């Protein structure tokens, strides 16, 4: 019975140590993520300043990029849809 209690106490101690280690790792991960974002933001601001862009210029560029991306996604979706219809049609003709 005593050996069982010792084993349980040892396991509980290990659980606590691992839990503490996990918590420290999670805190370190969050700190690294924040640091990465801060470095990226600094880089972005530096690029914008070098390009001598105003806030309005940046907003317009982002808006234009978003519009282009949405347009490309819509084209891709339309092409995929068209290909599916064509394949379906061709498969239907193969069965005849």
Whole-structure pTM value: 0.56
pLDDT for 16: 97
Rounded to an integer, the average pLDDT of 7-21 is 97
pLDDT for 59: 93
| CA atoms of 79 and 85, how far apart (whole Å) | 10
Where is pLDDT greater, at 96 or 20? 20
| CA atoms of 60 and 95, how far apart (whole Å) | 53
pLDDT for 85: 64
Question: In the chain, where are the structural domains located?
Answer: 1-52, 53-96
Task: Looking at the chain, list the stretches that DSSP marks H as alpha helix, in order from N- to C-terminal side.
Answer: 2-50, 55-94
pLDDT tens string 26-81: 999 999 999 999 999 999 999 999 999 999 999 999 999 988 887 777 767 767 77
Residue indicated by tokens 């140590």: 17
Where is pLDDT greater, at 75 or 14? 14
Among candidate residues 67, 69, 47, the one with its CA nearest the CA of residue 58 = 47
pLDDT for 90: 64
């Amino acid at each position: 019975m005593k050996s069982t209690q010792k084993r349980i106490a040892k396991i509980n101690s290990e659980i606590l140590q691992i839990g503490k280690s996990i918590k420290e790792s999670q805190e370190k991960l969050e700190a690294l993520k924040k640091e990465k974002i801060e470095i990226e933001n600094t880089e972005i601001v530096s690029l914008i300043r070098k390009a001598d862009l105003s806030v309005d210029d940046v907003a317009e560029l982002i808006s234009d990029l978003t519009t282009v991306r949405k347009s490309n996604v819509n084209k891709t979706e339309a092409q995929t849809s068209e290909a599916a219809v064509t394949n379906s049609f061709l498969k239907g003709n193969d069965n005849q």
